[in-house]
Structure 1
Amino acid sequence: MIGKLKGVVDAIYDDHLILDVHGVGYLVHCSTRTLSGLKGEGEAAVLFIETHVREDQIRLFGFTSEAERDWFRLLQGVQGIGTKTALAVLSTLNPSELGQAIALGDKTTVARAPGVGPRVAMRIVTELKDKMPAFGSGSVSLADIGGAPVAPATGGAAADAVSALVNLGYGAPQANAAIAAALRAAGEGAATETLIRLGLKELAK
């Protein structure tokens, strides 16, 4: 199985490219986001590869990050989603945006992807909420968000919000500090979705 390819971009098409690796041209299917992020033909590129093997063909799918490849795999685990739809979602939303949409239960954002209607978007949000891969470095410090160490949130909306941030790849201390700041801003009665949004804003500062 091929896990990663490093070579020179030989040609770029609407939904795939040819990557020249030591004289061998690999046809790699990619999202439009991945293709648009390449420097261009004749330039070096590194792609993380997902290999699909069937009786009549071998197809390679390429991604600029392991997080994007992880999402590609997860999306295909949702009923009714194949490679084409998974690539459409990743063409519309980057891993961070997709993770946030799922954590917030935002099916409208997910449904922006071509070929993804409200029902499919709802399945994505529902089925992947507890399966999200960790992404991001998780290196945000407490000083970066202007907070101090706090005890883990216990129970209710705050605990759910902390759990959502941890599922998004943030460390527990960072998640707790961010939600603590969110609680100070929104008040103790704030809903989970409000706390997640405010917590993400704190972490992005």
Structure 2
Amino acid sequence: MIGKLKGTIDEIGEDYALIDVHGVCYVAYCSSRTLGKLGSPGEAAVLFIETYVREDQLKLFGFLSALEREWFNILQSVQGVGAKVALAILSTLTPPELANAIALQDKTSVSRAPGVGPKVATRIVTELKNKAPAFAGEASANIGLKQEIGEGVASAPVADAVSALTNLGYSRDQAANAVAAALKNGGEGADSAKLIRLGLKELSRP
């Protein structure tokens, strides 16, 4: 079982990277986001690897972080999501963005990935909602509030403020982050008008 490759980039293809490890070149299939950040031929590279062994093939899938690899496996626990679709999702959303989308039950963001229709997107945000906090990475700070918003159990002022900000054109994730910051500044007892005002102030920061 191969868990990680450390070597030199030999080639970058459309959906794979060829990594030279002491003269042995390994083909690792990657998301377009990973390939874009990996580097250029001749540069050093490190990839976290998920090894797939089937009767008729052996494939390596490469990731920039262990967290990205975790999401690759978690996504495939959902019916209708195989390796190809999981990579497409990770090409579209970073692990923190994916955790946020699932917490907020944001099917639209998930369905932006090629090959993910409304039904599959619904299954992903529904079946994986309890996984989001543990695998949110840098997005973990506000993930609890986003789950409350996504499940419709957030307080009325919070829900109203998020709704108002999304109606102004902000994404649910942007709105939720702004309201989370507003709660810290305005206090848990702040009404919706105050949360909207403070949220807009937060969103206007460069």
Q: Which amino acid aligns with 2:40?
A: G
SS of the residue corresponding to residue 115 of structure 1 reads coil
Q: Which amino acid aligns with 1:7?
A: G
**Counterparts in 2 of 1:87 and 1:55: CA distance versus 1, 3 Å:** same
> What is the number of residues matched between the two proteins?
165
Q: Which amino acid aligns with 1:5?
A: L
TM-score normalised by structure 2 residue count: 0.70
The aligned counterpart of 1:128 is 128
CA distance in 1, matches of 2:9, 2:34: 13
SS of the residue corresponding to residue 45 of structure 1 reads strand
Matched, 1:184 2:184: no
Residue correspondence of structure 1 range 1-205 to structure 2 within 5 A? 1-132=1-132, 133-136=134-137, 157=154, 180-181=183-184, 184=187, 187=190
- Given that 2:28 and 2:62 are in contact with CA atoms closer than 8 Å, whether structure 1 keeps it comes out as yes
CA distance in 2, matches of 1:33, 1:77: 22
CA distance in 1, matches of 2:106, 2:10: 38
SS of the residue corresponding to residue 96 of structure 1 reads helix
Q: Deviations over 1:91-120 (max 9, x none)?
A: 000011111000100000000000111111
User: What do you get for the CA RMSD once the two structures are aligned?
Assistant: 3.1
- Given that 2:99 and 2:135 are in contact with CA atoms closer than 8 Å, whether structure 1 keeps it comes out as no
TM-score normalised by structure 1 residue count: 0.70
CA distance in 2, matches of 1:99, 1:53: 28
CA distance in 1, matches of 2:92, 2:115: 11
- Given that 2:34 and 2:64 are in contact with CA atoms closer than 8 Å, whether structure 1 keeps it comes out as yes
**Counterparts in 2 of 1:183 and 1:59: CA distance versus 1, 3 Å:** farther
CA distance in 2, matches of 1:34, 1:178: 30
CA distance in 2, matches of 1:22, 1:187: 60
Post-superposition, which runs of at least 4 consecutive aligned residues in structure 1 deviate over 6 A?
none
Gaps of 5+ in 1: 141-155, 162-176
The aligned counterpart of 1:169 is none
Between the aligned residues of both structures, percent identity stands at 58
Which is helix-richer, 1 or 2? 2
What is the CA-CA distance between 1:17 and the residue it aligns to?
Answer: 1.3
SS of the residue corresponding to residue 14 of structure 1 reads coil
**Counterparts in 2 of 1:138 and 1:104: CA distance versus 1, 3 Å:** closer
**Counterparts in 2 of 1:136 and 1:18: CA distance versus 1, 3 Å:** same
Gaps of 5+ in 2: 142-152, 159-179
